[in-house]
Each structure stands twice: as C-alpha cells, then as structure tokens.
C-alpha cells in the first residue's frame, strides 16, 4: 500500500459525485450492514461526502482535503485509510487528475447493495455473519424483510385496470419538435437510481482455472457449464475460503445439476461453506486487513536507514507474502498459514506485528514455524498490547533471553546454557540500539552467554 502522502495532500481539491440518487433507506443499510465491516470512520467519511451533495443533485461544489480534515477532525492518513475501505467494499470510486503538479479528485459515491442482494452476496453476508454473530445476523435479516405481497393479498381479487382501459392515443393538431431542447440532453444525464453490483474478485491470481477444467470430466461437468457467472462465483469462493483448484473440483461436481446441465451456484456456495467449516472447526472467515493498518504504520515519510526500510517493508507486506519472500518465492504450506491465521484471529495481532513474529521465530527455530513457540510469544505480545512493528521489535530484543529459554523448553530460572554459538541469519532490526531495551541480567551472565549475544548482535548488524 502506498503511503497516504504520495496519494493525496491537504491542498489537493476534490468534488463529490453521486452515482444516482441516494435515499434515506440507504443510510440504514450502510449503518447496519456495512458499518460492522468497514468501521465507523469509513462510514463517517461516506456520510460526510454524501452531505456535500445537495438534495436531488448529483455533484457537489469543489473543496479541499484540508477542509475535509476539519469537518471530520481527522488526520489525512485516517481519511486515506477510510477511503480505501470504501473503495474496496464497493461504496466509492475515486478518479484523479494531475495538472501542473496539482491534483484534483472526483469521489463518486456508489449506492449500497439492496438488502436482498447483500444477504445473497456470497461474500459480504458471510463476513457480516462472522462479525456480528448468529443472533444479530438473524435480527438484521428480519429488520430488512417483511411479509411478501402475494401472501398479504391472498383471498383478494386483482381489479387493476390496464393502460389501454384507461388511456387512448390521439394526434395533436400542432406539433413541432424543439431541437434546442433535445440538444441539451446530449451532455446531461437524468437523475435517477443506479443498480449496484456485488463484490467481485477480479482475476484471482492464486486460482488456476486451467487446472480445474483439466480435472473435470466432460461427462460430469461439461465445459459449457462453466459460464462467466459460474467462474465469477468460483473466483469469489476461492478467495473467500482459500480453496485451491483441486479442492474446488469436487465442490463443482457436487453442485452440478444433471437434469439442466448447469452448475447450481447456490449449492456451490453451500458446499464451499460446509468445506471451510469442516476444515476450521465450524468457523467462518473474517474480513481482515491484508497489511498493517495505516494508523499503526511508522510515521517515517522517507525511510533512509536499514531499520526504517525494514519497518516500512513489514508495515506494507502481508504475512503470507513475507513467508513467500523468505522462502524465495515458494508458496507457504497450509500448516504454516494455519498457524499465522490462528495468531491473527485468536490473539488479534496486527499483520505488521505478525511479520516481526514470523521473522523472529523462523530465525530461532532453524526456519521452522513451530506452533507452540509461535503461540507462546504471540500470547505474550497480545497481553502487552503490541500494535506496531517498532514495539514488536523492541520487545523481541528486550525479552530475547526469555524467548531463547522458551525455544529450548526451559523456564526463566534455568541454569546458564552451554550451547554452541548460534550462526543463523538475524534480521537488521535486532541490534544493540538502546541500553534500555537490553535484558537486565546480561551483565551478570557468564562469558559463554556474553559471547553468544555478541555474536548474535554482530550477525544482525552485518545482515543485508
């Protein structure tokens, strides 16, 4: 993710546009269905931009981001982060124009999905269910639904007149086309209501459709059954549940309607959900940040030192990508991803903090993610309420001796180790930067321990 100052500045101007008329009912949808997913700041940004568009209009007056910061009493970084969430969930489109060094933006508000489409979306409804829980989810569905009209009119006769029963057509005596009026329509659009599309994962890079089709028998699933709509659903489900091509093959076969020769998308969704819950002890996936939230990233504008550059990398890289980078491009195993997933969901550690944890543990355990060791350190960091990369680095340095004891299955009162000096690679951030973060008992350790720590610190400094 680019830093906010590279994307927009307080002096940059913006204009708000509305992709169709927004109604009061939309406020309820955004507040009750979208807010649990995007958070109150993103919802506040949407409502603030909406307020700038006059009633029954599609465009606002031009304004500066500095004014928006004043309206919302927020830093530009917070507004930028909220904007990205709105874009990602389909509530905002952003356009930018650069002219002689200055930038101007158009923020086009998108209407939310209608409740029926939201609850049948296949992604948003799953994330909402996991976020608010079964009871509240059921209340929300009830809130946005009512008795169907056919049931309410049962026993009544339909006596509605048809158009031709009420109106007739006549030719006016003097009719003249006004070309000037028609010419005005060419650069205008009628104010109305647009139809919002659901969330769609475009070109999910981790899913191999060729491998899927190669594994499907033509007699079981004809290629014509894999329509664009079906492939879109497969792409979304693969992203949502982490299903690869081989696993998806069986789900597609189970959702095949032999009589119609089509893939039943609703059955495919149910099969994917059942598969995920079976694999994850009846849980459903969470909607999580891919990388460290902007508010928890380093404030260094232009990283210069090795440490600043590393912090920036850990702030702007997902844990999965970090594992890929460390292994030289190899996709991490499911077991390793499961360990990281559990740390993020159960211990509630942020992605950047998890990145520090991954790097530290791999170097302490011969490049292996040991679940027990990871969980123990993660639990400690969660109790200490570590939320930034810098905090995680400092604590790892401060508690280095303790963590080594844990790695060797010893307690804090264990006797001094008589192990060979370690020679594994050490990350740049593990350095003797501050006397305050050194373990208090280092000066009392024996010569072997001193030599070991000196060797560790020297390798940290020399790495990279």
Q: What is the pLDDT of residue 38?
A: 93
Whole-angstrom distance, CA of residue 268 vs CA of residue 460: 50
Q: What is the pLDDT of residue 2?
A: 52
Give yes or no: residues 300 and 243 share one domain. Answer: no
Q: How far apart are the first and last CA of the chain?
A: 23
Which residues have C-beta within 8 Å of that of residue 130, sequence separation ≥ 6? 283, 284, 285, 286, 287
Q: Of 112, 140, 162, which one is at a domain's C-terminal end?
A: 112
Residue 285 maps to a domain: no
Kindly tell me if the per-residue pLDDT of 453 is higher than 90.
no
Number of structural domains found in the chain:
3
Whole-angstrom distance, CA of residue 227 vs CA of residue 443: 69
Give yes or no: residues 317 and 453 share one domain. Answer: yes
Residue 179 maps to a domain: no
The CATH number of the domain holding residue 25 is 1.10.10
Which residues have C-beta within 8 Å of that of residue 291, sequence separation ≥ 6? 1, 315, 316, 317, 318, 351, 352
pLDDT confidence bin for 206, thresholds 50/70/90: low
Give yes or no: residues 301 and 238 share one domain. Answer: no
Q: Of 222, 255, 279, which one is at a domain's C-terminal end?
A: 279
Give yes or no: residues 243 and 332 share one domain. Answer: no
pLDDT confidence bin for 432, thresholds 50/70/90: very low
Give yes or no: residues 93 and 239 share one domain. Answer: no
Q: What is the pLDDT of residue 443?
A: 41
Residue 336 maps to a domain: yes
- Mean pLDDT for the stretch of residues 116-145: 89
CB 336 within 8 A of CB 369: yes
Give yes or no: residues 324 and 430 share one domain. Answer: yes
Give yes or no: residues 425 and 326 share one domain. Answer: yes
pLDDT confidence bin for 41, thresholds 50/70/90: very high
Kindly tell me if the per-residue pLDDT of 105 is higher than 90.
yes
Which residues have C-beta within 8 Å of that of residue 145, sequence separation ≥ 6? 115
Kindly tell me if the per-residue pLDDT of 21 is higher than 50.
yes
Whole-angstrom distance, CA of residue 412 vs CA of residue 380: 14
Residue 117 maps to a domain: no
Give yes or no: residues 275 and 298 share one domain. Answer: no
Range of the domain at 213: 209-279
Q: What is the pLDDT of residue 442?
A: 37
Give yes or no: residues 246 and 301 share one domain. Answer: no
Give yes or no: residues 450 and 349 share one domain. Answer: yes
Nearest alpha carbon to residue 454 among 426, 418, 413: 426
Q: Please state the φ and ψ torsions of residue 59, each to the nearest 5 degrees.
A: -135, 150
Predicted TM-score (pTM) of this structure: 0.51
Residue 411 maps to a domain: yes
Residue 434 maps to a domain: yes
Residue 344 maps to a domain: yes
What DSSP string runs through 328-367?
TSPPPPHHHHHHHHHHHHHS---HHHHHHHHHHHHHHTTS
Q: Of 112, 147, 171, which one is at a domain's C-terminal end?
A: 112
Angle at the Cα of 34 (from 28 to 37), degrees rounded to 5? 150
Give yes or no: residues 263 and 306 share one domain. Answer: no
Q: What is the pLDDT of residues 228-283, one digit of tens each?
A: 888 888 887 887 677 888 888 889 998 888 778 889 988 888 888 888 777 776 76
Q: What is the pLDDT of residues 65-75, one digit of tens each?
A: 999 999 999 99
Residue 429 maps to a domain: yes
The length of the chain in residues reads 464
Give yes or no: residues 312 and 341 share one domain. Answer: yes
Q: What is the pLDDT of residues 138-170, one digit of tens each?
A: 999 999 988 777 766 778 888 888 888 888 777
CB 398 within 8 A of CB 435: no
């Amino acid at each position: 993710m680019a830093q906010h100052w590279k994307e927009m500045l307080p002096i940059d101007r913006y204009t708000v546009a509305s992709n169709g008329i927004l109604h009061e009912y939309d406020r309820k949808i955004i507040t009750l269905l979208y807010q649990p997913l995007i958070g109150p700041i993103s919802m506040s940004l949407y409502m603030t931009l909406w307020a700038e568009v006059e009633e029954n209009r599609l465009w606002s007056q031009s304004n500066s981001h500095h004014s928006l910061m004043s309206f919302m009493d927020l830093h530009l970084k917070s507004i930028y982060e909220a904007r990205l969430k709105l874009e990602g969930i389909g509530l905002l489109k952003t356009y930018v124009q650069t002219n002689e060094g200055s930038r101007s933006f158009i923020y086009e508000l998108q209407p939310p999905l209608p409740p029926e489409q939201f609850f049948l979306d296949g992604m948003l409804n799953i994330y909402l269910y996991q976020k608010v829980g079964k009871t509240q989810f059921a209340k929300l569905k009830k809130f946005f639904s009512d008795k169907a009209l056919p049931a309410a009119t049962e026993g009544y006769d339909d006596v509605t007149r048809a158009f031709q029963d009420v109106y007739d057509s006549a030719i006016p005596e003097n009719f003249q086309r006004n070309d000037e009026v028609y010419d005005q329509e060419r650069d205008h659009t009628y104010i109305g209501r647009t139809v919002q599309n659901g969330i769609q994962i475009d070109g999910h890079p981790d899913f191999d459709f060729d491998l899927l089709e190669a594994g499907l028998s033509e007699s079981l699933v004809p290629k014509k059954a894999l329509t664009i709509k079906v492939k879109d659903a497969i792409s979304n489900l693969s992203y949502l549940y982490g299903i690869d091509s081989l696993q998806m093959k069986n789900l597609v076969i189970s959702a095949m309607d032999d009589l119609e020769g089509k893939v039943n998308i609703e059955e495919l969704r149910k099969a994917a959900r059942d598969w995920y819950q079976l694999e994850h002890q009846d849980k459903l996936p969470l909607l999580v940040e891919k990388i460290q939230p902007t508010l928890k990233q380093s404030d260094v504008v232009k990283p210069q030192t090795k440490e600043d550059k590393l912090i920036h990398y850990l702030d702007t890289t997902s844990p999965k990508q970090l594992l890929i980078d460390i292994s030289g491009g190899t996709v991490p195993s499911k077991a390793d991803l499961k360990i990281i997933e559990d740390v993020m969901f159960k211990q509630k550690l942020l992605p950047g903090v998890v990145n520090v944890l991954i790097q530290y543990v791999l170097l302490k355990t011969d490049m292996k993610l040991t679940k027990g060791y990871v969980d123990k350190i993660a639990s400690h960091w969660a109790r200490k309420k570590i939320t930034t990369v810098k905090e995680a680095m400092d604590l790892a340095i401060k508690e280095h001796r303790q963590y080594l004891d844990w790695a060797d299955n010893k307690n804090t009162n264990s006797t001094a180790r008589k192990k060979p000096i370690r020679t594994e690679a050490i990350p740049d951030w593990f350095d003797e930067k501050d006397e305050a973060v050194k373990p208090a008992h280092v000066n009392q350790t024996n010569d072997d321990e001193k030599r070991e720590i000196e060797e560790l610190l020297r390798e940290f400094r020399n790495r990279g």
